[in-house]
Structure 1
Amino acid sequence: MEWTLEVVPVPVADVERAKRFYGEQVGFAVDHDTRVDENVRIVQLTPPGSNCSIVIGMAEMEPGSLKGLQLVVPDIERARAQLLERGVEAGKVQHYEGAELVDGPGGAWNNFVRFSDPDGNQWVLQERPAGR
């Protein structure tokens, strides 16, 4: 039996603001935007190339409480540049030396960039080595 992770809820305070951030600034595809009633709106967005989506508008957590969601990219510098061009405050490329996170690129699977959404949910980009 296969078990696939398909949707991750992301807690946000303002669905419209989050939809603009993830859709327009980060570049996720808006899969659907459904208004259940006057108080409930659910938006599903998918990162380019991903089989897993995020959903905003239905998380049972405090906005900004999600930490460490990870996106894997083939080119960390290019991904960071895209975020910066779209107005997302993205950190420097960093890597781990032991338990310490230091500035600059590292080896295979050891290049990271961090950014947060307007509510403070924290994301990590990780570079996948070429050919993987």
Structure 2
Amino acid sequence: MKQHIAHIALVVKEYDEAIQFYTEQLDFTLLEDTQLSENKRWVVVAPPGANECGLLLAKAANEKQAQSIGNQTGGRVFLFLFTDDFWRDYNKMLAKGINFVRPPKEESYGIVAVFEDLYGNMWDLLEPKENKRVIRN
């Protein structure tokens, strides 16, 4: 049996501002943007070269969902963006105005820095060392 996670839902305020952030500031690819109803779209973005998992940008449909925007994990790092060249991507992201909340650090598993998306969700930018499993607390 083979399984994989296809999408991770990320609650957003507005579709277009989220698409703009992910495609213009993080250089993600817009894989799909389909209107499902008057107020609902199916919007999927993914990092360059991603094969399986993408972010499903899901507009908050009610107040309870809106309260989770930017804090879907209670303040912990939410998503992990792996790269094959940390410094290339870190410098590009800085130039595009990405806010890093923790500076680059060499860890036993690789080079990592924490940044936040347009809503404040925290992400790791990580270039893992080969053959090292990434474990964070």
TM-score category (smaller protein): 0.7 to 0.9
Structure 2: gaps spanning 5 or more residues: 133-137
1:87-132 Cα deviation digits (max 9, x unpaired)? 21234202xxxxxxxxxx344x232111111211111111123699
| Residue among 65, 71, 77 paired with 2:71 | 65
Equivalent residue, structure 2, for 1:43: 43
Post-superposition, which runs of at least 4 consecutive aligned residues in structure 1 deviate over 4 A?
58-61
Read off the aligned partner of 1:63 and give its amino acid letter.
I
Measured after TM superposition, the shift of residue 68 of structure 1 is 2.4
For 1:127 and 1:45, locate their aligned partners in 2 and report how far apart those are by CA, in whole Å: 21
> Residues 49-128 of structure 1: matches in 2 within 5 Å?
49-51=49-51, 52-57=53-58, 61=65, 62-66=68-72, 67-90=77-100, 91-94=102-105, 105-107=106-108, 109-128=109-128
Structure 1: gaps spanning 5 or more residues: 95-104
Identity of aligned residues (%): 28
For 1:6 and 1:59, locate their aligned partners in 2 and report how far apart those are by CA, in whole Å: 20
What is the TM-score normalised by the length of structure 1?
Answer: 0.80
8 Å contact kept, 1:9–1:59: no
Equivalent residue, structure 1, for 2:13: 13
Q: Which has the higher contact order (CA 8 A, sep 6+)?
A: 1
Q: How many residues matched?
A: 121
